[in-house]
Amino acid sequence: MVIMKTISVTSFKANCLELLSRVGKTGEPILITKRGKPTAMLVPPPPEGDEKWTLGKHRHTAKVVGDIVAPLDEPWEALR
């Protein structure tokens, strides 16, 4: 079982730059809590060349066919 480092949002605000550097160097995520409840997680970026995380990878791959805002010719099932 892996135990993740946990810090409060107040500590995160006070030590943000140092924590960013630490996560970038070690690769270990940090759980950020607010009043004891998980709020966010600071994780390292994906490795260089990791294609599934490339921003804009699927740009221009979708195609709209027909009018996507026009009313349907048949009643919507949820309205029956």
The string of pLDDT tens digits covering residues 31-67 is 999 999 999 999 998 777 666 666 777 778 888 788 8
Q: Is a pLDDT exceeding 70 seen at residue 2?
A: no
Q: 3-class SS at 43?
A: coil
Domain chopping of the chain, boundaries: 1-46
1-46 has which fold?
YefM-like fold (3.40.1620)
How far apart, in Å, are the Cα atoms of 15 and each of 7, 11, 33, 38, 71? 10, 6, 14, 18, 53
**Residue-level pLDDT at 3:** 76
Using pLDDT thresholds of 50, 70 and 90, give the confidence band for residue 77: confident
